[in-house]
């Protein structure tokens, strides 16, 4: 069975390329479908077992071609920037919802069942803020990005009930690690802070730095994705991917300073409009269904790996 490829949509991006490395290391062959909008060819290993199809998930025929002969799919392709979805709701909808629907149809036609889907903590909006957020927390998708993620979850559930698809829906909290692109102001905060600290450029904290996030190292996420791919059972219901640990930006800066030996100038500016104060996952379901790496990668260790030290 292992000779049939796993399809990774968005596999040339940050999370996708880290997953591709792990799949290759475990002897899987991999097909990547990516339009290289934010992903890069150079993120992928030069390996005979990795095939790159440059194409768009929003194109139904491309999606049919991509799933043909695959054993399972990990669906990561999306416009991952919330701000981009605010600026261009119609354009991002093609990637973020139509892409998912095309995938469901292509899998139904091809008789492929297992699909892992990258949803987001964004589906909760500001609900549950201040306490660990459980999966049953009422949803409040406040942006086109979040609306498309939540709608994708519902379509996947329809295909599960109607056509026997085996969707595994993960709601990622804040993922960080190597190859996360720091180039936009809305890139992940860890990618921005570490890049600027390495270059000695000033760091801007929006707010007082006491806001907290539940940061997950990408290597730990990839371990979970591998388990979900290989598991024989697929229980219903989305699963939060967080560590139930709150790290403030000030604590993050301390850790960056410790790991690099020094920090550039840090300025505190006005908080971003609509910024969430505290985001932390209740991860009981994750722990019931999967084995989190024990111990999970701590912030200092994750920064060392990210910085290649």
Specify the DSSP class assigned to residue 281.
Answer: B
Catalytic residue among 28, 145, 159, 290: 145
Task: Report the residue number, 2 or 186, with the smaller CB distance to ligand NAD.
Answer: 186
Specify the residue for token string 């939540």: 150
**How many C-beta neighbours within 10 Å does residue 308 have?**
6
Of 175, 189, 259, 286, the residue at the interface with ligand NAD (CB under 6 A) is 175
Nearer to ligand UD2, 52 or 204 (CB): 204
Interactions with ligand UD2, residue window 116-155 (CB under 6 A): 120-122
Question: Cα(123)–Cα(238) distance, rounded to whole angstroms?
Answer: 11
Cis peptide before 295 (omega within 30 of 0): yes
Q: Is residue 156 within 8 Å of residue 165, measured between CB atoms?
A: yes
* Binding span for ligand UD2 by CB under 6 A among 40-48, 53-61, 67-75, 181-189: 181-189
Binding residues among 110-129 for ligand NAD as defined by CB under 6 A: 118, 120
In the bound state with ligand UD2, the residue whose beta carbon lies nearer, of 104 and 205, is 205
Partner whose footprint covers residue 160, from ligand UD2, ligand NAD, none (CB < 5 to 8 Å by kind): none
Is 159 marked active-site?
no
Binds ligand UD2 by CB under 6 A, chosen from 279, 282, 283, 297 = 279
- 14 CB neighbour count, 10 Å cutoff: 25
Q: What is the distance between the alpha carbons of residues 164 and 149, in angstroms, rounded to a whole number?
A: 21
The closest alpha carbon to 64, from 112, 5, 16, 25, belongs to 112
Q: Pairing relation of β-strands 203-206 and 114-120?
A: unpaired
* Nearest to ligand UD2 of 72, 147 (CB atom): 147
Active centre residues (catalytic) = 145
Which residues are near ligand UD2 by CB under 6 A? 82, 120-122, 174, 186-189, 192, 204-206, 211, 213, 249, 272, 275-276, 279
């Amino acid at each position: 069975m292992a000779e049939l490829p796993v399809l990774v949509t968005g596999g040339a991006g940050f999370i996708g390329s880290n997953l591709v490395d792990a799949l290759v290391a475990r002897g899987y062959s991999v097909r990547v479908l990516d339009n290289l909008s934010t992903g890069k060819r150079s993120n992928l290993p030069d390996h005979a077992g990795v095939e790159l199809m440059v194409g768009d998930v929003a194109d139904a025929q491309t999606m049919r071609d991509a799933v043909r002969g695959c054993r399972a799919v990990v669906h990561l392709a999306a416009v991952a920037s919330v701000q981009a979805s605010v600026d261009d709701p119609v354009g991002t909808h093609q990637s973020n919802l139509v892409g998912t629907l095309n995938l469901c149809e292509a899998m139904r036609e091809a008789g492929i069942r297992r699909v892992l889907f990258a949803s987001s903590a964004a589906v909760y909006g500001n609900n549950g803020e201040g306490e660990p957020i459980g999966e049953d927390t009422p949803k409040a998708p406040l942006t086109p990005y979040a609306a498309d993620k939540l709608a994708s979850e519902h379509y996947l559930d329809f295909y599960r009930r109607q056509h026997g698809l085996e969707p595994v829906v993960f709601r990622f909290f804040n993922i960080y690690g190597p190859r996360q692109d720091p180039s936009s102001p809305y890139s992940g905060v860890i990618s921005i802070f570490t890049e600027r600290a390495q270059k000695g450029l000033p760091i801007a904290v929006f707010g007082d730095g006491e806001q907290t996030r539940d940061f997950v190292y990408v290597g730990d996420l990839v371990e979970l994705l591998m388990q979900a791919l290989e598991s024989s059972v697929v229980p219903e219901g989305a699963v939060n991917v967080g560590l139930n640990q709150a790290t403030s930006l000030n604590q993050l800066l301390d850790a960056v300073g410790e790991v690099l030996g020094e920090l550039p100038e840090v300025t505190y500016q006005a908080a971003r409009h609509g910024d969430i104060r505290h985001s932390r996952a209740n991860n009981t379901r994750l722990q019931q269904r999967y084995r989190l790496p024990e111990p999970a990668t701590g912030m200092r260790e994750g920064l060392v790996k990210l910085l290649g030290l």
